Copies of this chain bind each other. A is one copy, B any other.
Amino acid sequence: MELFQTLTVEEARECLKQHLKWRQEGEKVFLHEAYGRYLLKDVLAPEDIPSFDRSTMDGFAVRASDTFGASVSLPAYMEVAGETLMGQDAAGFLETGKAWAIPTGGMLPSGADAVVMLEYTEDLNEYTIGITRPVAPGENVVRRGEDVSNGSLVLRSGHRLRPQDIGLLAALGIAAVEVRNPIRAGIISTGDEVVDIKETPQPGQVRDVNSYTLYGLVIENGGLPILYGVVPDEFTALQGLMIKALEENDLVLISGGSSVGARDVARGVIASLGKPGVLFHGISIRPGKPTIGAVVEGKPVFGLPGHPVSAMVVFDLLVKPLIKYNCYPDEKGNNLEFPLRAYLTRNVRSAAGREDYIRVKLSEKERRLYAEPVLGKSGLIATMVKADGLAKIPASREGIEAGEEVEVKVF
């Protein structure tokens, strides 16, 4: 019984988007703990950076207009009226025609608007220098607020904090910052043949691979994974565990038994949990076709294929953006999901109307990037381990020939 049509990845995302209701809770963390977290709110600069006009060179602060016309043959001679010490208030006013000694990073005295590098000055005597080259106003100076001005928007809500962002927050004196709570992802494995890794599989049984792969994927993308273990393909047992996982998480992943019967049980259970329930069953990609997408009371639930490779590909396309960004990338905006371009080393066939994701090994020769398809049946875990990334074959193509460029992402 096939009630649902097969959707493209874009259609599947659109469909999920319409029913998602994300809570927007957060917590305040110290900068030490902020790396990789997502901002809950916009950050506005509470002050100027720098908070004073700052020299970028060792030399002499001057009024630029006093140096106009200066040259080696006709230096501009100036009395040294004062000196800025590192980390000290310049605490002075520079009169016309005078100079002020200053180190890199030092504060300009008021009145000064430029710095002459030490290399372009000569000592005449203890109190007088000659300037051998003119400077323009603002030269070798970072003006107050030039880096960041008070009140400006420095980081947007939802931005993932990189090391430089944390540095900027430190510069602004923002020692703690409000970040989103990580998305909690419940992980359930089903399948009568699947046993936990702590057990010894009997003939016909296999160990639970997907729970551990998904656990790593959730962590990699900033989420908080919770393992619910392995449950047989049995309606009541799976339903009980699903209800618990939905209560305790923002999102639930079931990686299904591989048989048709197991998939039917998973779909039946998801459909029983609440509204709107199952939105699609099947997406037009390979691997990953037998995917179930659902939303229950605003929370997404995914029935991922049992094959580890398929489960990873579907996670990457449908689950990862939700955990990492709480949303799907805007199709109209920049889309760097497959940022690399590489030359395919072998012909690869594909069916039109279906996106194919092939595992590739990357190598670089003479500054060109090559993607070699990793051969092997799609169910083999070893192929994912041998591969460096995934290459995408668009739905419009029936294959890619060796030497053509493909779009690749590293995983």
- What residues of chain A have their CB less than 8 Å away from a CB belonging to chain B? 31-32, 34-36, 49-52, 54, 56, 58, 84-91, 103-107, 142, 146-148, 154-155, 161-175, 191-194, 197-198, 200-217, 219-220, 227, 233, 257-262, 306, 308, 312, 334-336, 339-341, 362-364, 367, 369, 377, 379-382, 384-385, 407, 410-411
Contacts and interface: CB of A to CB of B under 8 A. Distances in A.
A314 B52 CA distance: 27
B219 A197 contact: no
A339 B213 CA distance: 26
Contacts of A35: 215-216, 219-220
Contacts of A367: 407
Contacts of A217: 163
B209 A84 contact: no
Contact of A164 (B146, B213, B258): B213
A265 to B, nearest CB: 11
7 contacts: A35-B220, A146-B377, A154-B385, A162-B216, A164-B216, A171-B209, A339-B369
A375 to B, nearest CB: 12
Contact of A170 (B107, B208, B260): B208
B204 A262 contact: no
A217 B84 CA distance: 33
B257 A382 contact: no
Contacts of A219: 35-36
B191 A87 contact: yes
Contact of A31 (B56, B162, B212): B212
Number of identical monomers bound together in the oligomeric complex: 2
Given A56-B379, A164-B308, A87 B215 contact: no
Contacts of A58: 259-260
> Which one of A212, A367, A385 has the greatest number of beta carbons of chain B within 10 Å?
A212
A84 B34 CA distance: 52
A220 B160 CA distance: 12
A173 B36 CA distance: 31
Contacts of A155: 385
A142 B86 CA distance: 71
Nearest to A149: B382
B340 A339 contact: yes
Given A31-B215, A54-B206, A147-B379, 10 more contacts: A84-B204, A85-B204, A86-B233, A86-B259, A88-B204, A147-B380, A147-B382, A163-B217, A167-B213, A173-B201
Given A166-B212, A339-B369, A362 B384 contact: no
A171 B259 contact: no
Contacts of A198: 175
A86 B213 contact: no
B148 A381 contact: yes
